[in-house]
Amino acid sequence: MSARSAVLMADGRPRSRFAIVTTVVLCLLWTIPTLGLLLTSFRTRDAARAHGWWEIFSGGWTFDNYDKVFNGNGMGGSFLNSLVVAVPATVIPIMFAAFAAYAFTFMDFPGKDVIFVVIVAVMVVPIQVAFQPMLDMLGPRGLGVSGQYIAVWILHTGFGMPLAIYTLRNYMTTLPRTVIESAKIDGASHFQTFWRLIVPMSVPALAAFAILQFLWVWNDLLIAKLFLSADNSTVIVKLQGLLGSQGQGQELLTAGAFISMAIPMIVFFTLQRYFVRGLTAGAVKG
């Protein structure tokens, strides 16, 4: 009996050695590559070439890479660009999507199902279809704003819209309908119901979409690379440039990569709870 009680955890469930060993191995696999990058980013170029990062006692530690990449390489400027690109591109789509989601959830109208099915279908469409037509529309042949932030804001707003409407609508269907009915009977218009009831009640879903969109915009390479001029380019584009320069600048690459990850990781860790809830609410029925 005593042997049996030894394999129970604090909450009374049996302790599974197999589960512990396997998860530890998987966790190591999932963290060691990132750890390698982090350690390498604090090493001098010579040290990184002479020793693997796991030889931590071989010396050659430095903060220079961060200094150089931030100040010398223009990473500081592109860091700002990333913020300037990501924040408006995250915030602007939300209201458009929220109104549409409200209509799809709480109003009945002819064509509702068909239109919503189109939105579901469009989520699958690869954004590559849009590049040539959008380059025409935003480039010199059209509005002439290609290269500026505005071009990227517009694109991310459009591309994020189907997912935004879909996630918000999925969440809103879980809200109690009686609340809306009683608001209606109270004489509230749809506009008032939306602002006073639905928006406050949908905050978790709004936050979840915002996090998802922020990560997506911040981490995006394609749109930023194609639609932003060199002055306005984001950290991800800058990082991709560093990756291309094989050999020289290798020590800056690791520091640059870490700088590019800092903000998403902070967002991610501080808001993880919302993010998880939103993901599960959006994709899992319920």
Partner 1 sequence: MSTAPVIVEGGETAPVRGPGNVGGLSWVKLAGGVVGAWLVVWGLGNLFLAFGYYPEKFGSKVVIAILAVVGGVLGAALLFYFINMFVEGLPERASAIVMPYAYILPGLGLIGLMLLYPVLQTINYSFANSDSTAYVGLDNYKDIFGDSEFWVSIVNNVLWLLVVPAATVAIGVVVAVLADKLSTQGEKVAKSLVFLPMAISFVGASTIWGLVYHYDIGDKQTGLLNWIWTSLGGKAQAWLSLSDLRFNSFLMMVILIWLQVGFAMILLSSAIKGVPEETLEAARIDGASEWQIFWRVVIPQIKGTIITVFITVLILVLKVFDIVYVLKNGLDKTNVIANLFFQELFAKDQAGKASAIVVILLLAVTPVLWYQVRHFRAEEAER
Residue type, 65: N
CB-nearer residue toward partner 1: 1 or 126? 126
Of 59-67, 68-76, 189-197, 202-210, the segment contacting partner 1 by CB under 8 A is 189-197
Residue 146: Cβ within 10 Å count: 21
Structure tokens at 227: 């639609």
Three-class SS of residue 185?
helix
**In the set 112, 140, 142, 273, which binds partner 1 (CB under 8 A)?**
112
| Nearest distance in Å: CB 66, partner 1 | 15
Pattern of binders to partner 1 over 207-246, x per CB under 8 A?
--------x--xxxxx---x-----x---x--xx--x---
Number of residues that bind partner 1 (CB under 8 A): 125
Given a contact cutoff of 8 angstroms between Cβ atoms, the answer to whether 140 and 146 are in contact is yes
Of 63-71, 148-156, 200-208, the segment contacting partner 1 by CB under 8 A is 148-156
DSSP state of 5: H
How many secondary structure helices (H) and strands (E) does the chain include?
A: 16, 0
State yes or no: residue 4 binds partner 1 (CB under 8 A).
no
State yes or no: residue 182 binds partner 1 (CB under 8 A).
yes
Given a contact cutoff of 8 angstroms between Cβ atoms, the answer to whether 205 and 275 are in contact is no
DSSP string, 31-42: HHHHHHHHHHHT
State yes or no: residue 50 binds partner 1 (CB under 8 A).
yes
Pattern of binders to partner 1 over 7-46, x per CB under 8 A?
--xxx-x--x-xxx-xx--xx-xxxxxx-xx--x------
Site for partner 1 in 81-100 (CB under 8 A): 81, 83-84, 87-88, 91-92, 95-97, 99-100
The CA distance from 147 to 143, in Å, is 11
| Nearest distance in Å: CB 59, partner 1 | 15
The CA distance from 156 to 213, in Å, is 9
The CA distance from 109 to 119, in Å, is 16
Of 67-75, 112-120, 202-210, the segment contacting partner 1 by CB under 8 A is 112-120
